[in-house]
Amino acid sequence: MTQYLLEMKGISKSFAGVNVLQNVQFTLMRGEVHALMGENGAGKSTLMKILGGIYSRDSGSIEVKGEAVPNMTTSAAARLGIAIIHQELNLVSDLSVAENIFLGREYRLKGTPFVNWPRMRKEAGRALAQLGIEIDPDRPVGQLSVGQQQMVEIAKALSMQADILVLDEPTAALTNREIDALFQVIASLKKKGVGMIYISHRMEEIFQICDRITVLRDGQYVGTKQARETNMDELVRMMVGREITERFPKVKVDPGPERIRVENLSVKGKLRNISLSVRSGEILGVAGLMGAGRTELARALFGVEPLEHGRIYVDDRQVTIRRPIDAINAGIALVTENRKEEGLVLSLSIRENLALPNLGSLSAYGFVKGGEESRLTEHTIRQLSIKTTDGEKTVGSLSGGNQQKVVIGKWLATRPKILILDEPTRGVDIGAKKELYELMNRLVQEGVAIIMISSELPEVLGMSDRIIVMHEGRVTGEFLREEATQENIMYAASGGGKLNAS
């Protein structure tokens, strides 16, 4: 008989009368990487929060190393060697990297209440070095990129020397290099006998590193498979309960007039002489490695990054964009990559979040018209299939992927002419991804111009009409849909220059 490192049985949980987990089971062995899969809102993060003692279960049992844990709390979880890398970053922006890593477990100078800073800095540096990254442990976390913050979150969990490590969407914000480093760490932890629970919507990763795969659907246990005995199609069927045939349902639209033209746009230290144009009905993909300046480009067009020089034309008229309100008035919307910091207010309801950028169009004499707001909310929930009982739920109570849909819905409601999407499908499940692509199709058919920044090459290749590639703040390649390949994009993204440039 195998003794499991972890065994969860009959786990059920409801929030305010809504069942989110029903009779779910899960086991983990030493040295195993066990994937937990399912659509947005399937209950993956909730199951892990129950394991970590953040939520209490309504029923079911948890055994860790053969020991029943009737009352799992966060401190019991820590004592049992359970560490969780949460999907939504849990760092304190104003504290340094080292302070974040050791928050609540600070080293003290022997026999004193004083914090042992040199030791904490050293240990933090070591945890980061293990991941192959150089970040100054004294830097405030708020100054780091989302990817670097994610690495700090991972370093924090690693420094706990856990026996059971949960990784909830750890790679969504990481560069390929960071992902490689993380996978090496996972391989070495595996050798040490650490059991890992791995949550990701990226199929390729699942098959690359996982031994077994458990699928949840609508809070119910669907099944567990050995990774080498299953395949992507079977998993998709288990997750969504139907076949998904075309992953990228691209519809080609005859492009109309030029919607936006950017000439020689520069941002000090970040962007150099970017020129581009997008026509109505067109999707321009923006590829490049993390740090290539793609997000800065989006922010510059949206009036967040001050321009050093450059001109922006919307519908052939030059516009001056100094603040986001100028961009919104010019018909530009930006769906940011960092939904937690820029996109949403988690403590407000879906309805309130949707209304935030739209106050202009929804208010009459300074009062928000309640009727229109609820119509907009219901429409958005339906249009984007946001999984919620109603629009009054706080956004913080939605699953990660559904939060992303609220961000998109919020900007669609401004009826933009130019929609900039920065990593639109990050953390979004395979079914919802397809819904988002279909939505993009509808928008371009209505004449919107879309600029889509994405690190997922299949998505860039699958949905763009044209692709520009950035490297170190410059455009290093431009390809028509027909001529773009993984290879020529990667070549340009690494600064290699133009291959087959049009």
Ligand X SMILES: Nc1ncnc2c1ncn2[C@@H]1O[C@H](COP(=O)(O)OP(=O)(O)OP(=O)(O)O)[C@@H](O)[C@H]1O
Binding site for Mg ion (CB under 5 A): 45, 87, 400
Q: Which does 42 bind (CB under 5 to 8 A by kind): Mg ion, ligand X, none?
A: ligand X
Q: In the bound complex, what is the minimum distance in angstroms from residue 45's beta carbon to Mg ion? A: 3
Q: Which of residues 86-115 bind ligand X (CB under 6 A)?
A: 87
CA 62, 67, 71, 75 dihedral sign is: negative
Owner of token pair 């009959």: 10
340 near ligand X, judged by CB under 6 A? no
Minimum distance of Mg ion from residue 365's CB (angstroms) = 41
Q: Is 473 one of the binding residues for ligand X (CB under 6 A)?
A: no
Nearer to ligand X, 349 or 402 (CB): 402
455 contributes a contact to ligand X by CB under 6 A:
no
The answer to whether 47 touches 216, Cβ cutoff 8 Å, is yes
DSSP 330-367: TTEEEE-S-IIIII--TTSBHHHHHHGGGHHHHEETTE
Order of strands across the sheet with 418-422? 332-335, 418-422, 449-453, 283-288, 466-471, 474-480
398 binds ligand X (CB under 6 A): yes
Q: How far apart are the first and last CA of the chain?
A: 63
Query: Which region among 36-44, 110-118, 281-289, 373-381 touches ligand X (by CB under 6 A)?
Result: 36-44
Between 96 and 171, CB nearer to ligand X: 171
Residue number, 201 or 294, with CB nearest to Mg ion: 201
339 binds ligand X (CB under 6 A): no
Q: Which of 11, 20, 213, 328 forms a contact with ligand X (CB under 6 A)? A: 20
> Which positions from 62 to 91 touch ligand X by CB under 6 A, shown as an x/- string?
-------------------------x----
Q: How far is the CB of 168 from Mg ion (least distance, A)?
A: 6
> Rule CB under 6 A: is residue 400 a binding residue for ligand X?
yes
Query: Are 78 and 129 spatial neighbours (Cβ–Cβ below 8 Å)?
Result: no
- Can you tell me which of 22, 40, 280, 476 binds ligand X, judged by CB under 6 A? 40
- Residue from 125, 147, 401, 409 in contact with ligand X (CB under 6 A): 401
Helix axes 117-130, 146-158, angle to 10 degrees: 110
* Residue among 195 and 400 whose Cβ is closer to Mg ion: 400
DSSP output for 82-116 = EEEE-SS----TTSBHHHHHTTT---B-TTSSSB-
Q: How many CA atoms are closer than 13 Å to the CA of 130, on its beta-carbon side?
A: 21
Work out how close the CB of 205 gets to Mg ion at its nearest, in angstroms, rounded to a whole number: 15
Which residue of 6, 35, 38, 100 would you call a contact of ligand X, by CB under 6 A? Answer: 38
Nearer residue to ligand X within complex by CB, 40 or 159: 40
Over the range 402-423, which residues count as b (16 or more CB within 10 Å of their CB) and which as e? Answer: bbbbbbbbbbbbbebbbbbbbb
Least Å distance between CB 225 and Mg ion? 20
Choose among 333, 308, 330: nearest CA to 422.
333
CB of residue 12 to ligand X, shortest distance in Å = 12
Among 150, 380, 399, 441, binds ligand X (CB under 6 A): 399
Helix (H, G, I), strand (E, B) or coil at 155: helix
Q: Which token pair is 411?
A: 């900007």
CB of 47 or CB of 164, closer to Mg ion? 47
Contact predicate 47/219, CB 8 Å: no
Query: Which one of ligand X, Mg ion, none is in contact with 170 (Cβ closer than 5 to 8 A by kind)?
Result: none
The region of 39-47, 90-98, 288-296, 456-464 touching ligand X under the rule CB under 6 A is: 39-47
- Least distance between Mg ion and beta carbon 38 (Å): 9
Contacts of 323 (CB under 8 A, 6+ apart): 303
19 is a contact residue toward ligand X (CB under 6 A): no
Q: Please say which residue, 45 or 404, places its beta carbon nearer to Mg ion.
A: 45
Contact between 391 and ligand X per CB under 6 A: no
Which of 4, 7, 26, 43 is in the footprint of ligand X by CB under 6 A?
Answer: 43
- Residue in 330, 306, 334 with CA at minimum distance from that of residue 318: 330
Q: How far is the CB of 462 from Mg ion (least distance, A)?
A: 24
Closest CA to 414 of 372, 359, 351: 359
Number of residues interacting with ligand X: please give it, by CB under 6 A.
19
Is the torsion defined by CA of 43, 47, 50, 54 positive or negative? negative
Element (H, E) at 284: strand 283-288
Candidates 71, 39, 78; CA nearest to 55 is 71
Tokens, residue 356: 């935030």
Is residue 42 involved in binding ligand X (CB under 6 A)?
yes
Report if residue 355 touches ligand X, rule: CB under 6 A. Answer: no
Instruction: Based on the shown chain and the rule CB under 6 A, indicate whether residue 41 belongs to the binding site for ligand X.
Output: yes
Q: Which residues bind ligand X (CB under 6 A)?
A: 15, 20, 38, 40-46, 87, 387, 397-402, 429
